[in-house]
Amino acid sequence: MKSLLSVAALSLFTLSTQPLRAEPVNLTLKLIDEAGKPLAGHAVRVAIGSEAEASAPGAGQRLSTDASGVVRMQADATVDRRSISSTSVFTRHPAEHLVVGVELDLIGRRALYRVRLDQTRAGTVGQINAFLAGASGRFDLPLAFHADTQSWSLPDDPAGLRLTGIGAELKVHNMEGSAQTGRTVTLTIAKQGFKRR
């Protein structure tokens, strides 16, 4: 009986640690300026997957937006399963998690805008953060936030130029589909201008 329980526990452990399979993802990304005007002919690198996959310096594809400010991309990517909190820290909901990395210019530096998407039964939860490349070349250095002035600065120059935003704002985010049907992701990102503080 003891050995049967050990085998059952080992089977459960094996199931929970099996690597996730890549799933087909169809992405439509639109870039606009702060006024909502499409950014046509804008160079962008896009990577889809987990945080580690999206943050790699050579991951994804280098693309250019069309006359409508849009790029389309198909890729096989890892979709993680996790639980997220909503309105209460005591309530958690199952979600399927995907990261889209969008490399753009940030005041003369290359920055990776990491868009984190959680597909839940109630809809898609989205968040965007900016990262610069560290010594390894991976985009893993977040911008420094200054609570006293509600501003950001480059991580390697915290006393330097203060920015009123991270350089991009997530305007539209949606993820639909499943592992069986494939995922469809739609994003609209507005590039921000800056003011000195």
pLDDT tens column, 72-114 = 999 999 888 876 665 555 566 778 899 999 999 999 899 999 9
What does pLDDT average to over the chain? 85
pLDDT of residue 173: 97
DSSP 8-class letter at 86: -
φ/ψ of residue 3, rounded to 5: -70, -30
Q: Is 61 helix (H, G, I), strand (E, B) or coil?
A: strand
Q: Residue 163 burial (CB < 10 Å; 0-12/13-18/19+)? A: buried
Distance of CA 89 to the CA centre of its chain: 23
pLDDT of residue 88: 52
pLDDT of residue 131: 96
Contact 93/84 with Cβ under 8 angstroms?
yes
Q: Is 74 helix (H, G, I), strand (E, B) or coil?
A: strand
